[in-house]
Structure 1
Amino acid sequence: MLAIAAAIVFGFALLLDLFDTDLNAPDLFNWNTLVLIGLTLLALYFAGVGSGPRSGAGSGSGRRFYGRRPGRG
């Protein structure tokens, strides 16, 4: 989810750069700020923050195959 948000922020920054506008708020929506927000979201994504529910021990979700997996020749 954070990677999608980072992609949206980077796309918005690209559009602002292509159209050469600052939306009349040069201190809030400048190119550097949006790039830093996007990089922060990507760093959080790579760190594992907000990656969704994990299948931990005792949760009962997911399959576990011990030994030979079925259906593999």
Structure 2
Amino acid sequence: MFAIAAAAVFGFALLLDLLDTKLGAPDLFNWNTLVLIGLLLLALHLAGFPRRGGGRWNRGRRTGRG
């Protein structure tokens, strides 16, 4: 989920950069800020946040025959 949000933020930042547009407050919210938000979302995705299942990696027994 965070990876999809990061991709959307990166795409929006790329459009802003390519079109050379300015948003309302240039010092507060520019394409550099969007890139940092995208990196934060990507880091959260790679860290596995939020973890579900109480931190157990293997919830059940493996029954496959190999």
TM-score range, shorter chain: 0.7 to 0.9
1:1-73 superposed matches below 5 A: 1-50=1-50, 53-54=52-53, 57=59, 64-66=62-64, 68=65
| Structure 2 residue runs without a partner (length 5+) | none
* CA–CA distance in structure 2, aligned partners of residues 26 and 42 of structure 1: 24
Cα-Cα RMSD: 2.3
Question: Which consecutive residues of structure 1, in runs of 5 or more, have no partner in the other structure?
Answer: none
Write out the 4+ residue segments of structure 1 that deviate beyond 4 Å after TM superposition: 53-56
Quote the offset at 1:56 in angstroms. Answer: 5.7
Identity rate, percent: 70
Task: Count how many residue pairs are aligned between Structure 1 and Structure 2.
Answer: 63
SS in 1 for 2:63: coil
CA displacement, residues 25-48 of structure 1 (integer Å, 9 cap, x when unaligned): 212331211111100100000000
TM-score, normalised with respect to structure 1: 0.69
SS of corresponding position for 1:65: coil
TM-score by length of 2: 0.75
Letter of the structure 1 residue corresponding to residue 62 of structure 2: R
Q: Which structure: larger Rg?
A: 1
| Structure showing the higher helix proportion among its residues | 2
